[in-house]
Amino acid sequence: MKLGKATREAFGLALAQLGETRPDVVAVDGDVGNSTRTEIFGKKFPDRFFNVGIAEANLVGVAAGLASSGKRAWLASFATFVMCNAYDQLRMSVAFPCLDVKVVGTHAGISIGEDGPSQMGIEDVSLACSLPNFTVVVPCDEPSMFKAVEALGNMHTPAYLRAGRPNVPILYEKACEFQLGKANKLREGTDLTIIACGLMVAQALLAADELAKGGVQARVLDMHTIKPLDDAAVLSAARETGRIVVAEEHLLHGGLGSAVAMSVARQHPVPMRFVGINDTFAESGKPDELLAKYGLTAADIVRAARDLPTKK
């Protein structure tokens, strides 16, 4: 797999590109524009960029005010800062009035690395999914992030867009298919399905390659939209492959796994296993070492798949 840009970098470039054709797009940042990469937009459109400082509640309030005045507001900060520090403002100032505010949480997951647990967004997807009217999207690479920004830019309702710090493999061509609420099938398979999002999609593909060596053909779904979930893709996976593994760089409670489990239970129950962060905070360390220590690698997906009952 060819290594591409970090999804946070792709977000910054995509937002600046969106601003070229949408003069009503504005960006608001919490004094981390050099990290969230909104500074790319800010340098291009200084009159449409607002840095409110390290004040996440105010960050959301300003974005909501701009949106209520007719602007298309995009706000950005570290995932844990905006979702944890400003949840009430997101709930009452954005979700309740259903304003056109796109919330971007960067540096999500434990792959932020050495910055440690205070800056690792590991519960952000769960919090975002709990907000009524919010769409929740977790792209896996540079091309899909560009498509996600474009798609969200066409919506007039709130959304949460998750981005990461490390460079990630390119899994899509620039002209990739991307539709909100519709999973992308990256690999065919009839023995089981691996459903993943974010950087775990690349690991899912590696796991599928390893499983194939033993004669197990795994379908791989990039479930980039967590809410609304692609129930049809989940149903097809359950019916046609009979077993499902879900992989995400997030706490096991409340993220992609929870959403898929509800869909499976409602539509067509099958054996499932879950790869994610198991009810713990991570420590500071190198990203690859942390992902290995906390069970977020292709090998962990393979183990989960082999732990499933062999009979469908």
Burial class (CB in 10 A: 0-12, 13-18, 19+), 154: exposed
174 within domain boundaries: no
State the pLDDT at residue 312.
Answer: 59
* Residue-wise burial string across 15-40, b where 16 or more C-beta atoms lie within 10 A, e elsewhere: bbbbbeeeeebbbbbbbbbebbbbbb
Residues 56 and 157 in one domain: yes
194 within domain boundaries: yes
Residues 68 and 195 in one domain: no
State the pLDDT at residue 218.
Answer: 98
State the pLDDT at residue 222.
Answer: 98
State the pLDDT at residue 173.
Answer: 83
State the pLDDT at residue 33.
Answer: 94
State the pLDDT at residue 311.
Answer: 63
Residues 199 and 92 in one domain: no
Burial class (CB in 10 A: 0-12, 13-18, 19+), 289: exposed
State the pLDDT at residue 263.
Answer: 98
Residues 101 and 194 in one domain: no
State the pLDDT at residue 174.
Answer: 75
- Predicted model pTM: 0.97
State the pLDDT at residue 176.
Answer: 84
296 within domain boundaries: yes
Alpha helices in 139-280 (DSSP H): 142-153, 200-213, 231-241, 256-267
The domain that holds 210 is classified in CATH as 3.40.50.920
Q: How many CB atoms lie within 10 A of CB 3?
A: 12
Residue showing tokens 């090998």: 299
CA-to-CA distance for 219 and 237, rounded, in angstroms? 8
Structure tokens at 262: 């509800």
Structural domains in the chain (count): 2
Residues 23 and 156 in one domain: yes
Instruction: Judge whether 66 and 38 are in contact, CB under 8 Å.
Output: no
Instruction: Judge whether 26 and 48 are in contact, CB under 8 Å.
Output: yes
240 is catalytic: no
Q: How many CB atoms lie within 10 A of CB 230?
A: 23
178 within domain boundaries: no
* Per annotation, catalytic residue among 56, 123, 248, 249: 56
CA-to-CA distance for 38 and 131, rounded, in angstroms? 24
CA-to-CA distance for 19 and 42, rounded, in angstroms? 10
**In the chain, which residues have pLDDT < 50?**
none
What tens digit of pLDDT does each residue of 225-241 get? 999 999 999 999 999 99
In 3-state terms the chain splits into helix, strand, coil percentages (rounded to 5) of: 45, 20, 35
Residues 70 and 137 in one domain: yes
State the pLDDT at residue 310.
Answer: 83
Question: Computed from CA positions of residues 17, 20, 23, 29, in that sequence, does the dihedral angle turn out positive or negative?
Answer: positive
Residues 262 and 139 in one domain: no
Residue 220's domain comprises 184-306
Residue showing tokens 């004094």: 31
Residues 78 and 213 in one domain: no
User: Which of 169, 201, 225 is a domain's end point?
Assistant: 169
Residues 214 and 149 in one domain: no
Residues 157 and 13 in one domain: yes
Residues 99 and 139 in one domain: yes
